[in-house]
Structure 1
Amino acid sequence: MTLPPTGAFPRLPLSSRAEADPHHSPDPAGRRPGDESPSVVALGGGHGLSANLAALRRITPLLTAVVTVADDGGSSGRLRDELGVLPPGDLRMALAALCDDSEWGRTWRDVMQHRFSSAQGRATTLDNHALGNLLIVTLWELLGDPVAGLEWAGALLGARGRVLPMSTQPLVIAGDVPGAGTPDRPEGPGAVRTITGQAVLAKQADVCNVRLVPPDAPACPQAVEAVGLADWVILGPGSWHTSVLPHLLLPGLRRAICDSPARRCVTLNLSPDTETQGKTAADHLRVLHTYCPDLTLDVVLADPSATEDGADLEEVAASLGAEVFYADVRAHPGTAVHNTLRLAAAYQEIFERHR
């Protein structure tokens, strides 16, 4: 694939994308003749979404990741603040997860995830920047289009699917937590303090009243289209308030998810994160219902070792229209890491049951 000169980048031609990835279909729900693979949209961010994508790319070529864009920490936060771009980190991780297991794919996965560190302790402006973040931002600056930039990055990597931002506008996530008051608002029963920013909010327990700023930001049109054309829409796993829930807080994307004819699956975490300490698996579903009462589900995927409240979970899932599908998807006892092949097998069985 020959790149055009700087300043003359078009949107990536579909023929070029197909050459880079023979499994890619230009239509989010399109299929090659005889291909019965489901079209899947996975929503989330960070490590949870990456685990999902690494599993899903093994069972369907018709895969779209829709990624949160509220990160404000680390390399992503610096680039966002200094250059006014979308935070690229979660988008980078999604692209890396879609790299295949060929030598090309493994190499580019490592390249995208590589972080710079100064030699002999000398601080530099590149410290802790991920090369993939810089590559993505470079493409955005050359093309002036976040979606086109991600398409070009995906073509370079041979990504087994496409990656889209939930919005083409950087978002801020805020929430309330129990806490001490201020001199003019003394602490008392029900006292709360507002935490702004994903990096800080993700470290808080008992988060409530989560919201996006601005609250009416536009959803990425391509993400809305993909959700509307999908056979399956999957939420989770991941940080519940800062990676999973935001997709239901963005009005345009929430409507697309609730109105889509696709089947909907929620994949639960293997252990509570900091945001949800003390919450049960059923409580995680209650959170989604609280913020999006119109959401109905078809399947809740849960690991039995992480669901001590099985009866409660099944009752709440049923109230949302879903069955609970139990599968051992934990990589090792005592860890919160998914086994990629086990997770892929679980999705394969779910898709076949609901074909």
Structure 2
Amino acid sequence: MSGPAVAALGGGHGLAATLTALRFVTDDITAVVTVADDGGSSGRLREEFGVLPPGDLRMALAALCSDSEWGHTWRDVLQHRFAGDGPLGGHALGNLLIVALWELHEDPVAGLDLVGRLLQAQGRVLPAAAVPLAIEADVSGLVEGDPEARTVVRGQAQVAATPGRVEHVRLVPADPPAYPESVAAIRAADWVLLGPGSWFTSVTTHLLVPEVREALQVTRARRLLVLNLDPGSGETAGFSAARHLESFAAMAPGLRLDGVLADPGAVDDEPALVETAARLGAVLHVMPVAGRHAHGEHDPLRYAAALRDILYSPRPTS
């Protein structure tokens, strides 16, 4: 198989779903993964060793494993999580393997490439930033009696779980360096995909890394934003699909999109979504990508079919 060069940006389960679908569409895949996770196994390893959080990187590698007994076996090994309350309890073996390789190799990308070789991965996984990131958010609705008062919430896990309304997000450090390989992959791609995933702590985090945002602005690639199956839940509770696009425009003024992909179940007001997408330069694609019987989960084949239709479409001539 050959196909367009695709750079997929995101993290967690959303990026893993995209990568799983992309494997049916093209061989040329680069995952550019957020490095702001501070919870669970990743948070513990990040705090103890001062490394990039490995969890989202591990999930992306596992999603790209070869479709063979060897690939599936090592994927399951990578994803295995230790039980119990001891020092290993809660750690994914793949996180420990990645951190071990980082201690043996000065360049974290070299360690990730070695795990990719072990999995016979159909693509490459790169960190979006060269340093661990912390997310800070101004959140309203947390002060009793004053719904407009804003409280600073720090940390990816804390922002993702806040019951308040996220008003503004920033990174610490505010001007983190990006990996040259990640910037080069975005610049050289035919398509760049953003989403789905946790909107403020996974998808749009990339827009706050200056070199990544600049690469998104100048790349020759077409840009596709994939909306969540349930846009108005989690960090964006109460958001319409159109409001997600308005938020995107506010976070990255001047950054144009070429397409927006949404499952029919995620579209609450199609005319408003079409209009908002058009203001960003994008065509709206409403296509089924959700599982027929698994609520809130992508169907890999339906998602792949939608991506194939979009990614293999001819570039507009005007």
Q: TM-score range by the shorter chain?
A: over 0.9
Q: Identify the match of residue 323 of structure 1 among 283, 292, 313.
A: 283
Comparing 210-219 with 197-206, greater Cα deviation is found at 197-206
- Kindly provide the CA deviation profile for residues 37-60 of structure 1, in whole angstroms up to 9, marking residues without a partner as x: 100000000000000000001211
1:334 and 1:192 map into 2 onto residues whose CA distance is 37
The match for 2:140 is 178
Conservation of the 8 A alpha-carbon contact between 2:39 and 2:156: yes
Counterparts of residues 55-204 of structure 1 (less than 5 Å): 55-118=21-84, 123-180=85-142, 188=146, 190-204=148-162
Conservation of the 8 A alpha-carbon contact between 1:40 and 1:234: yes
2:11 and 2:129 map into 1 onto residues whose CA distance is 13
Change (3 A) 1:308 1:144: same
Which secondary structure state, in structure 2, belongs to the residue aligned with residue 193 of structure 1? strand
The match for 1:50 is 16
Aligned length: 313
Q: Identify the match of residue 299 of structure 2 among 336, 339, 345.
A: 339
Return the letter of the residue paired with 1:95: L
Task: Tell me how far 1:189 sits from its aligned partner.
Answer: 6.2
2:293 and 2:259 map into 1 onto residues whose CA distance is 24
Comparing 203-212 with 46-55, greater Cα deviation is found at 203-212
Return the letter of the residue paired with 1:313: L
Change (3 A) 1:189 1:147: same
Larger Rg: 1 or 2? 1
Conservation of the 8 A alpha-carbon contact between 1:180 and 1:187: no
2:25 and 2:142 map into 1 onto residues whose CA distance is 49
2:211 and 2:160 map into 1 onto residues whose CA distance is 24
Which secondary structure state, in structure 1, belongs to the residue aligned with residue 56 of structure 2? helix
2:176 and 2:205 map into 1 onto residues whose CA distance is 12
Task: Tell me how far 1:187 sits from its aligned partner.
Answer: 6.4
TM-score between both structures, scaled by the size of structure 1: 0.86
The match for 1:314 is 274
Task: Tell me how far 1:332 sits from its aligned partner.
Answer: 2.7
* Percent sequence identity over aligned pairs: 57
Task: Tell me how far 1:179 sits from its aligned partner.
Answer: 4.0
Q: Identify the match of residue 218 of structure 1 among 177, 184, 190.
A: 177
- Kindly provide the CA deviation profile for residues 99-127 of structure 1, in whole angstroms up to 9, marking residues without a partner as x: 12211111111111100113xxxx31000
TM-score between both structures, scaled by the size of structure 2: 0.95
Q: Identify the match of residue 210 of structure 2 among 251, 254, 279.
A: 251
2:272 and 2:190 map into 1 onto residues whose CA distance is 28
Task: Tell me how far 1:305 sits from its aligned partner.
Answer: 1.5
1:198 and 1:303 map into 2 onto residues whose CA distance is 26
Task: Tell me how far 1:333 sits from its aligned partner.
Answer: 5.1
Change (3 A) 1:189 1:101: closer
Return the letter of the residue paired with 1:57: R
Which secondary structure state, in structure 2, belongs to the residue aligned with residue 78 of structure 1? helix
> Aligned-pair RMSD on alpha carbons?
1.4
The match for 1:291 is 251
1:352 and 1:64 map into 2 onto residues whose CA distance is 17
1:241 and 1:180 map into 2 onto residues whose CA distance is 18
Return the letter of the residue paired with 2:62: A
1:190 and 1:161 map into 2 onto residues whose CA distance is 45
Conservation of the 8 A alpha-carbon contact between 1:232 and 1:263: yes
